[in-house]
Amino acid sequence: MTSEEEIIRLRMRVTELEKEKEKDKRKLSILSEKNATLKEDVKVLSCAVRSGEEKLRLSLFIRFGRSSEKYRIIFNVSEELLRKAEEGSLSEEEKNTLAKAKDALEQTGGKDAKPGEKGTRNRNPESRVRGNGCGRQTFDPSYPRERQEFMLADKCPKCGTGLVDIDSPDVHEHIDILRNSLNIIQQAKHKGYCPCCGETHDENGTRKRDIQTASAPQRFIPGGLAGDSLIAASLVDKFFYGLSVTRIAKRFCNLGVDLSEQNFANWHMRAGSELKPVAEAIKGFILSQDAINGDESRLQVLDEKGRADNLDSWLWVICSATPGKPAAYFQYDPSRSSDVFKGIVGDYAGYLQADCYVGYQTKKQDYQYTLALCNAHLRRKFIDAQKAGAYPEDSPGHITLDRIITTIGKIYSIDKTHRTRWLDDKKISEQEFIRIRKEESLPQYEKLSKWVRGRYDLHRQDEFIMEGMGYYLNSEILFRSYLDCANLNPDNNRSERIIRAFSTVRMNSLFAGCPEGAHTLATMETIIQTANLWDLDLYGYVTYLLREVTKLRSLKANSVDYSQFLPWNLTPKLREEMDVHSISIKKKKSV
């Protein structure tokens, strides 16, 4: 082969190699792009896995963990560390971390419990009143007693000598309950005539008499099977204790009276319709107060026109925030729209405290009230982040959350301290309370804002912490609006407690059978929950209302002042009759 041919062959080989090189470059470029894509996918999936682990940890803690916010050390123990503990492969440092967490969970006995020492319950609280013998508690001495005397035998069973009573008996008190009693009342309305003007004779001499019948008090269900007290008892059982009409019918059947479920349902619907003006009077009272609380809760209602049965409807609630004047008003509506809440509050111009739901904030409704947001919802965001994150003690996440939660706790402490001085001790006036609370709370809010903004960029990968920070920064000023109103606390727990009381009824009843039933539910919850806030005998109060509205049936609704039937407007005699006479050792606080 000549040199020229060799050169040509080499040039061809170089060309082939350059082509292979270009192919390899293209392959490398494609693989590089795939590698970058995979790295991005790994990053995204890692974030998703981390977020999923946090959500799983939070859900497990909510389901199985302690509800108290005091013991937060256990939040910092990771699942990996717990798995290593099961395998027995812990280092000394990891063993110490677990030991601290266990100590924190064991110290449930209060502030005086020592580290590593299991706390005990205080068995001698100040509220306990000692009785006779063995340190047992005694009951209210004004409550009637049935005394049972157990006498000694006449003679000693051993020697036959007569025994001498030393007049120092051991007294033990206990409570017992007798089977409920029902009364069947026969109303015998006598008949008669007047011999002077009530007797006439026709042309044939036949005597005719104008018979008069004695009148009897009207009942809520004229001519029905049930008296007013029985209907009132069934209403309280259903709308306060959460019994279904099936269980109520069974309860009365056990007492010897067979009343159908349909009877009770019909009576309840009629009561809800006729007592609606009383509920509206409660609403009017609440909207006359300087400050109110608002909330809403889900309710399933069947047979709503144009809606599937599995869709959520809503029960809205507002309650009075005035100390010593509690009241709650419920209203049912299929919608959670702000139009519904606007229809409830109208042009109310006081303070409204609620959560961050947009229905309370939207400007299109042109609300007249001043909105204050709930700090408990804010604190709950960071508590959830702490439960979900399992941050080590010295990590940025642990430090951030601990500082934020501690600051919110100081804000609560300030309100509690000075509210006691104002309402209980009467040492400061309402205006002084507002001034002092505001002076001490605003610096804490400023610290909270600086801390959240200063640590914001540090936690961009921490989903739950970012959620809490965003929740605060989006409505920063509204969280401190309550400081200008003495009647408002830092949180909206007043209305949430009312919702919680209703949740028992919702849980046991599952759903309302029709929209009319949901309206009845709202009316009766309004009346019964308000009466409960005033510590009235619920059975007696509902019976009283049924009897009063029965007397008003012949009058026009707009001619009656239904506010006269509300708990705070009852006459002193009626108020005394309807007070709950408890035999508890704890004295009831006056409303």
- Asked if residue 450 lies in contact with residue 476, where contact means CB atoms within 8 angstroms, the answer is no
The answer to whether residues 366 and 568 touch, using CB atoms and an 8 Å cutoff, is: no
Low-confidence ranges of the chain (pLDDT < 50): 68-73, 108-118, 131-134, 585-591
| Conformation bin of residue 90: beta by default, left when phi > 0, alpha when psi is -120 to 50 | beta
* pLDDT score, position 134: 46
Q: Give the model's pLDDT for residue 277.
A: 94
Give pTM, 2 decimals. 0.74
pLDDT reported for residue 110: 42
Backbone angles phi, psi at 372, to 5 degrees: -125, 130
C-beta separation of 346 from 287 below 8 A: yes
Res 209: pLDDT: 75
Question: What is the SS3 assignment for 123?
Answer: coil
Give the burial string for 268-303 (b: 16+ CB within 10 Å, else e): bbbbbebbbbbbbbbbebbbebebbbbbbbebbbbe
Would you state the pLDDT for residue 20? 87
Query: Quick one: DSSP state of residue 422?
Result: I
Pick from 74, 73, 46, 41: nearest CA to 60: 74
- The residues, any chain, with a CB within 8 Å of residue 317's CB and separated by 6 or more, are 294, 295, 296, 297, 328, 329, 330, 331, 495, 498, 499, 502
Give me the percent of the chain exceeding a pLDDT of 70: 81
- Where along the chain do its domains lie? 3-65, 273-348+494-578, 375-484
